[in-house]
């Protein structure tokens, strides 16, 4: 940025000193902060863009692939009204995913499963069961690196697209509809790459904190207290013993129904 000041003195114009940033190839960036993302990264400049995805047209303004879906981080419920979106992260897991699927099926409720690519590849039977039960799929990267926003564009692209491929193959051809950055570590670039491949970036409004295993009562209490924040609820079926999550969902889903909530999917 350059600032110039002009001042008149004795009929002569004196130019103030100019300060300039030096360095060839400096790229301008931007950050679009998303409201309601409780654990998202602090605002920071965007990284330089990597090469467009082959076979897709590029946006003339950014050089990035043209999005198929919105690049804004989704939080709203597709159905609108008084509804919640249950989202389940870090699986599929051979022990806990079937138990969560049973809770959902017993209550006639659908959810969105945000899957780690290698986990999906290792358990294609579970991925297919999730699809058969009417739930939606979400890409949660290959390595679940919560510092992804500090990594180069090529790394972000690889993490997103390889996981999407794993999930699609495991499901028998069903593509993930969403992309959730680990720990909310989105960047403008990662959101653009996901959207160019048909995956809406997906945030959350209510973090159940079940990942910390605080006890079933604490998980239930946290969700009830934070429902005012918005409709998208975050739980986990991977990353360790999820018995507390299962027990919390067994209590929360009927309670939500009693409170007049419907169950939806996130907007795409």
In-domain check, residue 219: yes
Residue 75 a catalytic site member: no
∠ Cα 219 253 40 (to 5°): 50
Is the pLDDT score of 229 beyond 70? yes
Instruction: Tell me how many domains the chain contains.
Output: 1
The candidate with the shortest Cα–Cα distance to 127, out of 92, 100, 101, is: 92
Overall average pLDDT of the 4-8 stretch: 33
DSSP code of 186?
Answer: -
Confidence of residue 64 (pLDDT cuts 50, 70, 90): confident
In-domain check, residue 220: yes
Catalytic residue among 93, 139, 236, 237: 236
The candidate with the shortest Cα–Cα distance to 69, out of 211, 199, 159, is: 199
In-domain check, residue 18: no
| CATH number, domain with residue 181 | 3.20.20.370
Residue 93 a catalytic site member: no
Confidence of residue 62 (pLDDT cuts 50, 70, 90): low
Q: Provide the residue range defining the domain that includes 242.
A: 86-268
Strands 83-91 and 12-15: unpaired
In-domain check, residue 56: no
In-domain check, residue 246: yes
In-domain check, residue 202: yes
**Exposed, middle or buried by CB within 10 Å (0-12, 13-18, 19+), for 22?**
exposed
Catalytic residue among 75, 89, 144, 210: 89
Q: 27-31, 160-164, 255-259: lowest mean pLDDT where?
A: 27-31
| Alpha-carbon gap, residue 219 to 252, rounded angstroms | 9
In-domain check, residue 1: no
In-domain check, residue 8: no
């Amino acid at each position: 940025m350059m600032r110039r000041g002009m001042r008149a003195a004795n009929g002569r114009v004196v130019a103030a000193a100019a300060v300039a940033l030096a360095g060839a190839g400096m790229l301008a960036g931007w950050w679009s902060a998303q409201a309601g993302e409780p654990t998202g990264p602090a605002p920071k400049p965007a990284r330089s863009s990597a090469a467009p995805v082959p076979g897709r047209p590029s946006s003339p303004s950014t050089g990035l692939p043209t999005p198929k879906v919105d690049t804004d981080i989704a939080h709203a419920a597709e159905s609108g009204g008084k509804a919640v979106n249950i989202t389940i992260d870090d699986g599929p897991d051979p022990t806990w995913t079937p138990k969560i699927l049973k809770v959902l099926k017993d209550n006639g409720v659908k959810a969105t499963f945000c899957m780690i690519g290698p986990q999906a590849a290792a358990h294609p039977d579970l991925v297919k069961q999730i699809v058969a039960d009417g739930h939606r799929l979400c890409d949660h990267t290959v390595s679940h690196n919560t510092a992804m926003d500090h990594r180069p564009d090529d790394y972000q692209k690889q993490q997103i697209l390889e996981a999407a491929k794993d999930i699609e193959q495991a499901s028998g051809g069903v593509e993930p509809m969403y992309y959730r950055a680990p720990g909310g570590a989105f960047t403008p670039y990662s959101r653009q790459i996901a959207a160019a491949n048909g995956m809406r970036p997906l945030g959350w409004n209510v973090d159940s904190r079940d990942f910390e295993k605080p006890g079933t009562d604490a998980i239930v209490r946290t969700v009830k207290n934070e429902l005012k924040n918005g409709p998208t609820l975050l739980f986990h079926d991977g990353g360790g013993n999820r018995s507390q999550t299962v027990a919390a969902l067994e209590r929360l889903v009927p309670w939500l129904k009693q409170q007049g909530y419907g169950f939806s999917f996130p907007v795409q």
